[in-house]
Amino acid sequence: MRAVMGKQKMNNPHEADICLIAEGSYPYIEGGVSTWTHDLIKEQKERSFTIVSLMPPTEVPKYRYTLPDNVVGIKTLFLQHLPKGKRAFGKNKYLIEMIEEPLNQYLTGDFYKEFDRVHDVFAAYRHVLGRHILVESKEAWNMIVRLYKAIQPDGPFLDFFWSVMVMSRAIYSILLPSLPRARLYHSLSTGYSGMLLARAKKEMQAPCLLTEHGLYTTERRIEIAVSDWFGHPESLNLSFDYRKHTLRDFWLNAFVNAARLCYQAADEIITLFEGNKEAQIRHGADPRKMQVIPNGIDFEKYVQFTKKEEGHPPTVALIGRIVPIKDIKTFIRSVVLLKKRLPNVRAFIIGPTDEQPEYYEECRTLVEHLKLEEDCFFLGKVSLTQYLPNIDLNILTSLSESQPLVILEAGAAGVPAVTTKVGSCPELIEGRQDEMPPLGRGGIVVPLSNPRSVADAAFRLLTNPNLYAACSHSLKSRVETYYRKELQHNAYRNLYTKYLGD
């Protein structure tokens, strides 16, 4: 049946109300943003959607979601993948020269100011441009060498070459393919999706929305910080020269530029929580365009699990994927400290372990070293509701988050939380500044990578029944008042109506 539907969709790709632009997510990769997208499409039944899905060019992707019936088209765009294009063309040199300065700006300056120029070149020569001219021609090679000489004349050439190659190919692959027609374009992040949104704004003159879950620029900054490629061990030696330094900066500059472009193009910049706004404004977002629409949860579903199971030992839980960004190790260390003061405490780590197996291995080794095998359990990917009646405290040690739904889900069931001061966590726990009436705190916010603070906070909550009850109650009321799914969906319904009519 899906096959039949698919066919129908492909035949009629141009009459969608909304074009969603997703990067590395829906419908091929599972995760928070993909689930959010899937729900959005399902909820806005009266609108038709077409999807542009940007994917890395490595694997043949498979659908992870059954596309709802109101999806009328899907276009998969592989980053860096280019059509062959013409080989020789009288204006090779001219074309490459037109691209050179913008690329330079992309690495070191303000690309967003040059975007129109590049865009026009691509728009005018779309039928001839491709791999042959843009990547494999002598002119393109000479341009890379010129850029190298201008930007980093004595730096490591291979690294520079690769960076420029990957970045420029990615831009080309965004600028070349034709866009599906729609009455409104809605990007789910900045970055390459954002660049595509800027293109849509220029070419289609349609209204453009941006919903930013996590901050793309911040996420990439962290990714770059932990990537091996940039940090060769020798970069730590005495000659702390500018080289490795600049390679990192190129990438960051590129992402900041992409963000700026996207903020400029978007008519509405939606984010999940207040805390994101500051960084968005720093990267050029206009405060007048900004609004917060937090994600909601199915309150009724979770509220049923409020009643705790009798007689279980005090239990703390970390709910999340076993990956470095969740800083599981800090959680494990805090359990040791907590156990010294509360010997019968038990800890669950609930979440898939297969995303970064080597990190999972490290965590298991840590558990063994700290002799916690009897107290700390990796439960894998299980249904949260099954364990909710046995969990007393929800702990989140992440180094970065946008708006973690687990705090809301457990909160609806009356489980207070100890979280690090990242993303919207402070807002979820302590309430937004403009919360009226103030509902009180729903847990304790602690600093990053600080096992002792986590253990202290957990100890206080687990041993002080009054505090626990107060936190439990206020978190639950906050979720009920502000973070219900219906509120989120209504907000988007209104937004779409504002631009598309009824």
Partner 1 sequence: MAGIGFVLRKLASRDDYLGITRAFIHASVVSSGPWIMTVISLGLIYFFTEKIVVFEQAITFRTIMIYNFSFSLVLASPVYMITTRYVSDQIYLKDVHTIPGVMICSLATALLYSLPLAGIFYFTKSSLPLFLSIQAVLNYLLLSILWISMLFFSAIKNYQSLTLAFFLGILIATLASIFLAFPFGASGMLFGFNVGCAFIVFALFGVILAEYPYRFRIPPNFFSYFRRFKDLAIAGIFYNGGIWIDKWLMWFAPNADISPLGLPTNTTYDTAMFVAFLTIIPVMALFIFSIETNFFETYLSYFHSLQQNASYRLLEEKEKKIFNKILENGRNFIILQGSLSLTFILIAPSIFELLSMSYLQLGIFRLGVLGAFFNMLVLFILVFLSYFDSRENYLRISFILFASNFIFTWISRDLGFVFYGYGYFFAMACTFLISAFILINYTNSLSFQIFITNNVYRLPVRVPTKKTLKKLK
Applying CB under 8 A, the residues found at the interface with partner 1 are 2-3, 6, 57-63, 76, 78, 80-81, 135-136, 138, 140-141, 145, 148-149, 153-159, 161, 165-166, 169
Instruction: Name the nearest CA neighbour of 337 among 316, 312, 351, 306.
Output: 316
Using the minimum distance from each CB to partner 1, give the nearer residue, 73 or 414. 73
> Exposure of 343 by Cβ count < 10 A (0-12 exposed, 13-18 middle, 19+ buried)?
exposed
Using the minimum distance from each CB to partner 1, give the nearer residue, 94 or 141. 141
Using the minimum distance from each CB to partner 1, give the nearer residue, 75 or 364. 75
CB of 80 to partner 1, least distance (A): 6
CB of 381 to partner 1, least distance (A): 24
Cis peptide leading into residue 324 (ω within 30°): no
CB of 352 to partner 1, least distance (A): 23
CB of 130 to partner 1, least distance (A): 13
How many degrees, rounded to 5, is the angle at CA 265 between CA 488 and CA 27?
50
Can you tell me the distance from the alpha carbon of 312 to that of 9, in angstroms, rounded to the nearest whole number? Answer: 53
Using the minimum distance from each CB to partner 1, give the nearer residue, 176 or 454. 176
CB of 25 to partner 1, least distance (A): 17
Q: What are the two backbone dihedrals, phi and then psi, of residue 468, each rounded to the nearest 5 degrees?
A: -60, -50
Using the minimum distance from each CB to partner 1, give the nearer residue, 148 or 499. 148
Angle between helix 451-463 and 465-482 (nearest 10): 100
Q: What are the two backbone dihedrals, phi and then psi, of residue 458, each rounded to the nearest 5 degrees?
A: -65, -40
Using the minimum distance from each CB to partner 1, give the nearer residue, 59 or 310. 59
Which amino acid, residue 21?
I
Using the minimum distance from each CB to partner 1, give the nearer residue, 244 or 441. 244
* Alpha helices for 378-443 (secondary structure H): 384-387, 405-412, 425-430
Q: How many helices (H) and strands (E) does the chain have?
A: 20, 13
Using the minimum distance from each CB to partner 1, give the nearer residue, 68 or 314. 68
Q: In this structure, are residues 181 and 16 in contact, taking their beta carbons and an 8 Å threshold?
A: yes
Can you tell me the distance from the alpha carbon of 464 to that of 452, in angstroms, rounded to the nearest whole number? Answer: 18
Q: In this structure, are residues 64 and 30 in contact, taking their beta carbons and an 8 Å threshold?
A: yes
Using the minimum distance from each CB to partner 1, give the nearer residue, 170 or 224. 170
How many degrees, rounded to 5, is the angle at CA 170 between CA 169 and CA 176?
80
CB of 318 to partner 1, least distance (A): 35
Residues contacting residue 299 through CB under 8 Å, at least 6 positions apart: 412, 479, 480, 483, 484, 485
Q: Which two tokens stand for residue 362?
A: 């490290």
Q: Which two tokens stand for residue 398?
A: 């992440």
CB of 237 to partner 1, least distance (A): 14
CB of 406 to partner 1, least distance (A): 32
Q: In this structure, are residues 251 and 191 in contact, taking their beta carbons and an 8 Å threshold?
A: no
CB of 28 to partner 1, least distance (A): 10
Which helix (H) or strand (E) element contains residue 184? strand 182-187
Pairing of the two strands 49-55 and 16-23: parallel
CB of 17 to partner 1, least distance (A): 22
Using the minimum distance from each CB to partner 1, give the nearer residue, 175 or 318. 175
Which residues are 269's β-sheet partners? 210, 290
CB of 26 to partner 1, least distance (A): 15
Using the minimum distance from each CB to partner 1, give the nearer residue, 62 or 288. 62
